[in-house]
Amino acid sequence: MGQAPERVTGARRTDAGWSLLVDLTELERIPSTTSVLATYRLDVDEEGFLVGYERLRRFVRGATD
C-alpha cells in the first residue's frame, strides 16, 4: 500500500494478532475537503507483520456518516 495513515479508527485483538481499521488518502485533491479517502482493515500478526488487508469503503474527506 505504501501510504501513511490519516488515522487509526479501530483496533481489535484477535487470536493471531491484531485487526486494525485505518483511513488512508487515496486521491489528493484541491481543496483537500474533496480528497478521496478509504478505510482499510489491516490484519497483523503478534510481531506486527502485515498478513492481510482489505479495503472496506471509499469516501470524500468532507463527507459525514
Over residues 10-65, the pLDDT tens digits come to 999 999 999 999 999 999 999 999 999 999 999 999 999 999 999 999 999 988 87
Predicted TM-score (pTM) of this structure? 0.86
At 3 the pLDDT is 77
The shares of helix, strand and coil residues in the chain, as percent rounded to the nearest 5, are 5, 60, 35
Q: Look up residue 15 and give its three cell numbers.
A: 487470536
